[in-house]
Amino acid sequence: MISAFQSCEFGFSLELNESDLKTVSEWHHGKKYHDESAAKGKRGTIDKMDLPSNPFIIEFEYSAANEEYCTYDHMVLQLDDCVDCLKCLHPEFDYLFLFDHSCGHDRQREDSLNAENMSEVFGGKQSKLQHTLIKEERGYLGPFS
């Protein structure tokens, strides 16, 4: 599985050599990731560290034993590293990022309704769910009875 960035200006990925990686690593030294929970969960720290490789192309090895796949946490950290590269190496550009990232079951509110967290039998310990308000007006349920 590959998570990659493509742009009109640079094409597929962005060519980075060892000198570029060192420059960006020095530039973001002492900074923190914007999504602290993602950074803490995937990298063990919220502090940005040296870039070991080009963040514009990341390969994930998916197998039954590994079960690694691209999650929201991976994506948001990859984006943060890519933005650092662009701001450091090409500050003359403005950026707009569009994503094709499908992880509908990857990130949810803790109090959301999720079939994986539901008991198959009556009773037992259940998650405390959020309050839901359903109005019978257009916009909530649509024009159907």
CB neighbourhood size of 24 (10 A):
23
Residue 18: pLDDT over 90: yes
On the 0-12 / 13-18 / 19+ scale of CB atoms within 10 A, 14 is buried
Could you read off the pLDDT of 21-72 as tens digits, one per residue?
Answer: 999 999 988 999 999 998 998 889 999 999 999 999 988 776 655 556 677 8
Is the overall model pTM greater than 0.75, yes or no? no
Q: Provide the token pair at 134.
A: 């359903």
Q: Mean pLDDT across the chain, nearest whole number?
A: 80
Distance CA 40, CA 62 (A): 22
Could you read off the pLDDT of 101-118 as tens digits, one per residue?
Answer: 666 556 666 666 666 666
Displacement of CA 58 from its chain's centroid (Å): 13
Backbone torsion region of residue 44, taken as left when φ is above 0, otherwise alpha when ψ lies between -120 and 50, otherwise beta:
left
